[in-house]
Amino acid sequence: MAAFRAWGRYALGAAASIAIGVVAFGMKQPVPALDLFDLAVHELGHLVTALMPRMIMFLAGSVFQVAVPVGLAAYFLFRRREWASSGFCLAWAGTSARDVAVYVADAPVQALPLIGGGTHDWAYLLGPQGFDCIEKAGAIARSVEVLGLLMVIAGTGICLWPLVGWRSAARRAPVVAPVRARLVRPPVDTSGDPWLVGAGRGAAPPGTEVLTPPVRGAGEERGAGPDG
């Protein structure tokens, strides 16, 4: 469990980011569950800007569905320092941008079914009432798709970044030599033992006889008897 808390969540976030990227850009399919949330946010963007100019209202749907996961990614990174959550949200924004690219590419033909009918957002934005560049729909769609792919790659990198930093810090950590413990003997209390007291002072313990060698006179020769 401790190992998972240390690095497992970052690996899981990277794996999830790669998985949704493969579905969106490899399989060319909407990501299950996330595409429904993107659709709800798209319609919310139209609702919030309904009283604004029509150009802004039609553009707000696509902007909202990409900006919301980008905002969540920024929140988790800068406020919570949750690298895995931030990276996944950025990858999610990349898959949402890919859905926008499909919508842009459909502007000239308008083959995609629209919820409740109505006007095709990008057909209006790129048509005569908007930017009047419907012939550039394919190029714009490819640019948006490339941007989405870059966000998926960046999101995966954000998920893995703490692991890279952790390994680099482990390599730079100094090697600490083991410290050998020394056995320190406590001082001996000699106040209650006369033998230890005498030994500590360099004198014989009380009650013992001290033998001293005889002192020879200056005129005495070695080996001579008392009578010379």
pLDDT exceeds 80 at position 64: yes
Instruction: Read off φ and ψ for residue 116, nearest 5 degrees.
Output: 75, 15
pLDDT per position as a tens digit, 215-224: 555 444 444 4
Name the more confident of 113 and 70: 70
The ranges assigned to domains in the chain are: 7-170
Q: How far is Cα 214 from Cα 191, in angstroms, rounded to an integer?
A: 34
Residue 136 DSSP label: G
The amino acid at 197: V
Tokens for 128? Answer: 């005569």
Q: What is the pTM of this model?
A: 0.72
Q: How far is Cα 204 from Cα 196, in angstroms, rounded to an integer?
A: 10
Mean pLDDT of the chain: 83
Nearest to 90 by CA among 143, 140, 20: 20
Least confident of 56-70, 125-139, 214-228: 214-228
Residue 211 DSSP label: P
pLDDT exceeds 50 at position 226: no
pLDDT per position as a tens digit, 167-202: 555 555 555 555 565 655 556 555 555 555 555 555
Q: Give just the sign of the alpha carbon dihedral 49, 53, 57, 60.
A: negative
